[in-house]
């Protein structure tokens, strides 16, 4: 455990009070994370300090469709109608996936209307004057997004996200569909949740904001991993946090305390996080890696486990995933907690017989389908992470997210080319336009060279060569994930040691 003082807690609370706008007694906070989670501990103390009402719920009863809510009864958010919410990315991802799945299942006019509204608002968030602003924004909110906002009670005005990196598409979903700004913070139990926090009106994705008033944040070189503070265009390195929010150390573990905590010549206490970040020119921090998650393979290649897992989890077949890299092999393997509804829907369409979900997960056809999806949806993840401008341009040209996800990144880029060329070269046929483009006879081709040069993918050795499908979910009760739903890598490796050995020996 971490030894924490009242002064540490007060330092973080007083800093966050300056960031979250207009906190007052009219607010209502929905608490559903365990108090063992530092984000929840800080959030509830903040609400108590300001005099905000707190209602207690559970992740399993959060919404009307949560797993522990009986059909016809209401979830915690519907009853409480909170204005403030603290959430870990895993919860927000579930809300997003649930909405998109319901929209796609509905089909027809309602699906087209939703995606039109979504794309128009996305353009506005990305700064385009051609997006939905003013009256049009209000119209879409009334016609489309009010139904989505009702999922969390309809009154949410601010969401605090922490505990893990939030994906860019989930952040944009929250901004658009829930109409609430989302403050992304970065902190650890060892820093009493204090570190950095994004500005209220910052809609940029992938960043966790500038340092809080209680914290000093610096980067130090990690030469072994190739992260240096003199890197261009942005300095990179291990994140070190100092200030009054930094805790005393680990209880009865002096060796670990001395390894992670240092005091400088001025008496400032610093915590060495083990996380890798980079500072943008405006002073905002971005988390890009973690030292403990980097493994060296047999032939010297480095694999960032967390980065790859974040890219692969976008597949609709994946509820959770753990990548495993053995230093004595040249490839990775993965344990995949399979989405029961998605896999069973696929099996039904393919007319694959099975007597239980566990049996379905063990079938070779299922393994092949899920493995193929990891590569296909990896393409979509990289559009979001590496080329967000391309994604917004695709939306502007009425290319839906579902189309991109169905066909992969190559399709998305080719379709963008075809759409643009058809506007300037006069061809209405996507196939014919691509044929002209690829034959070097298209006058528009030079403008796409730069875009093609920026194509980025995971290296072959980073993509799991073999996977094992698991039918049982990983929950905090099972001990395989934390209260914040982060995977416990070492516990999972020990629990599924036999399966991992078989993946490498088969």
Domain boundaries 297-382+459-505, CATH class: alpha beta
- Asked if 491 contacts 169 with a C-beta cutoff of 8 angstroms, the reply is no
Check residue 20 and give its pLDDT. 84
Residue 330 phi, psi dihedral angles, 5° rounding: -100, 10
Residue 438 pLDDT exceeds 60: no
- Asked if 66 contacts 75 with a C-beta cutoff of 8 angstroms, the reply is yes
Q: Which CATH superfamily is domain 206-291 in?
A: Luciferase; Domain 3 (2.30.38.10)
More confident residue, 490 or 436: 490
Residue 187 pLDDT exceeds 50: yes
More confident residue, 237 or 288: 237
CB atoms within 10 A of CB 31: 21
Token representation of residue 4 = 């924490």
206 SS3 class: coil
Token representation of residue 483 = 């209260």
Give the range among 162-166, 208-212, 251-255, 442-446 with minimum mean pLDDT.
442-446
More confident residue, 487 or 429: 487
Check residue 426 and give its pLDDT. 45
DSSP string, 469-487: EE-SPP-GGGTSB-TT--B
Residue 83 phi, psi dihedral angles, 5° rounding: -105, -20
The set of residues, in sequence order, having a beta carbon less than 8 Å from that of 145 and lying 6+ positions away, is 117, 176, 177, 178, 179
- Asked if 145 contacts 179 with a C-beta cutoff of 8 angstroms, the reply is yes
pTM for the complete prediction?
Answer: 0.71
The set of residues, in sequence order, having a beta carbon less than 8 Å from that of 15 and lying 6+ positions away, is 194, 197, 212, 213, 214, 215, 245
Check residue 432 and give its pLDDT. 53
More confident residue, 163 or 265: 265
Per the prediction, the chain carries an average pLDDT of 83
Check residue 378 and give its pLDDT. 57
Mean pLDDT for the stretch of residues 196-206: 86
Check residue 414 and give its pLDDT. 52
At 111-151, the pLDDT tens digits run 999 999 998 888 888 777 777 788 888 999 999 999 999 99
Confidence of residue 209 (pLDDT cuts 50, 70, 90): very high
CA distance 228 to 250: 29
CA distance 275 to 288: 8
- Asked if 242 contacts 215 with a C-beta cutoff of 8 angstroms, the reply is yes
Mean pLDDT for the stretch of residues 202-215: 91
Mean pLDDT for the stretch of residues 335-350: 93
Bridge partners, residue 294, by sequence: 304
Mean pLDDT for the stretch of residues 206-211: 92
Check residue 457 and give its pLDDT. 58
Helices (H) and strands (E) in the chain, counts: 20, 18
Bridge partners, residue 487, by sequence: 481
- Asked if 278 contacts 234 with a C-beta cutoff of 8 angstroms, the reply is yes
At 357-415, the pLDDT tens digits run 999 999 999 999 999 888 776 554 444 444 444 444 444 444 444 444 444 444 444 55
Token representation of residue 29 = 């906070």
DSSP string, 316-352: TTEEEEEEEE-TTSSSEEEEEEE-HHHHHHHHHHHT-
* CA atoms lying within 13 Å on the CB side of residue 386: 18
Q: Hey, do 2-190 and 206-291 end up sharing a CATH topology, with the first three levels equal?
A: no
Percent of the chain with pLDDT over 70: 84
Q: What is the CATH number of domain 2-190?
A: 3.40.50.980
Token representation of residue 165 = 């990196």
The residue to which tokens 């009760």 are assigned: 477
Token representation of residue 133 = 């602003």
Check residue 94 and give its pLDDT. 82
Confidence of residue 288 (pLDDT cuts 50, 70, 90): confident
Q: Regarding beta strands 236-242 and 269-279, do their DSSP bridges make them parallel or antiparallel, or are they unpaired?
A: antiparallel
Residue 7 pLDDT exceeds 90: yes
Query: What does the domain layout of the chain look like in residue ranges?
Result: 2-190, 206-291, 297-382+459-505, 388-453
CA distance 413 to 163: 33
The residue to which tokens 């939306």 are assigned: 395
Residue 458 pLDDT exceeds 90: no
Any idea what the Cα angle at residue 154 is, between residues 152 and 158, rounded to 5°?
75
- Asked if 468 contacts 320 with a C-beta cutoff of 8 angstroms, the reply is no
Confidence of residue 19 (pLDDT cuts 50, 70, 90): confident
At 61-82, the pLDDT tens digits run 998 888 788 888 999 999 999 9
- Helical (H) or strand (E) element with 242: strand 236-242
Residue 89 pLDDT exceeds 70: yes
Give the range among 331-345, 442-456, 486-500 with minimum mean pLDDT.
442-456
At 302-324, the pLDDT tens digits run 888 988 888 888 788 999 999 99
The residue to which tokens 């040069």 are assigned: 453
């Amino acid at each position: 455990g971490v030894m924490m003082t009242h002064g540490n807690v007060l330092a973080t609370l007083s800093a966050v009070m300056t960031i979250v706008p207009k906190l007052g007694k009219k607010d209502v906070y929905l608490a559903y994370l365990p108090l063992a989670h530092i984000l929840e501990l800080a959030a509830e103390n903040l609400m108590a300090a300001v005099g905000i009402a707190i209602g207690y719920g559970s992740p399993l009863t959060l919404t009307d469709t949560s797993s522990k809510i009986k059909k016809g009864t209401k979830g915690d958010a519907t009853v409480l109608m909170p204005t403030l919410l603290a959430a870990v990315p895993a919860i927000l991802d579930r809300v997003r996936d649930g909405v998109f799945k319901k929209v796609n299942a509905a089909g027809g006019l309602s699906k087209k209307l939703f995606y039109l509204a979504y794309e128009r608002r996305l353009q506005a968030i990305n700064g385009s004057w051609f997006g939905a602003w003013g009256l049009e924004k209000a119209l879409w909110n009334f016609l489309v997004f009010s139904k989505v906002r009702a999922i969390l009670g309809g009154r949410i005005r601010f969401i605090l996200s922490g505990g893990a990196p939030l994906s860019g598409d989930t952040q944009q979903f929250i901004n658009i569909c829930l109409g609430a700004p989302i403050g992304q913070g970065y902190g650890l139990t060892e820093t009493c949740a204090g570190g950095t926090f994004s500005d209220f009106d910052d809609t940029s994705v992938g960043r966790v904001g500038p340092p809080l008033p209680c914290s000093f944040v610096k980067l130090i070189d990690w030469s072994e991993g190739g992260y240096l503070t003199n890197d261009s265009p942005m300095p990179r390195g291990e994140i070190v946090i100092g200030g009054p929010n930094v805790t005393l150390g680990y209880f009865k573990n002096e060796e670990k305390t001395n390894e992670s905590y240092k005091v400088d010549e001025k008496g400032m206490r610093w915590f060495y996080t083990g996380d890798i970040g980079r500072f943008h020119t405006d002073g905002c921090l971005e988390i890009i890696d973690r030292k403990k998650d980097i493994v060296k393979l047999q032939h010297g290649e480095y694999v960032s486990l967390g980065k790859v897992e974040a890219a692969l989890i976008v597949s609709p077949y994946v509820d959770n995933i753990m990548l495993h890299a053995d230093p004595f092999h040249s490839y990775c393997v993965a344990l995949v907690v399979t989405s029961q509804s998605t896999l069973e829907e696929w099996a039904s369409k393919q007319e694959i017989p099975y007597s239980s979900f566990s049996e379905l997960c063990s079938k070779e056809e299922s393994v092949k389908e899920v493995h193929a999806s990891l590569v296909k949806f990896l393409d979509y993840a990289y559009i979001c992470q590496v080329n967000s401008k391309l994604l917004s341009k695709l939306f502007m040209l009425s290319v839906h997210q579902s189309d991109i996800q169905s066909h992969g990144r190559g399709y998305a880029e080719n379709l963008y080319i075809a759409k643009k060329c058809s506007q300037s070269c006069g061809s209405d046929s996507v196939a014919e336009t691509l044929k002209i483009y690829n034959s070097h006879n298209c006058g528009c081709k030079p403008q796409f060279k730069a875009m093609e040069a920026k194509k980025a993918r995971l290296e072959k050795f980073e993509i799991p060569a073999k996977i094992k499908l698991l039918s049982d979910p990983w929950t905090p009760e099972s001990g395989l994930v934390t209260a914040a739903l982060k995977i416990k890598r070492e516990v999972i490796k020990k629990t599924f040691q036999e399966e991992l050995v078989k993946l490498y020996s088969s």
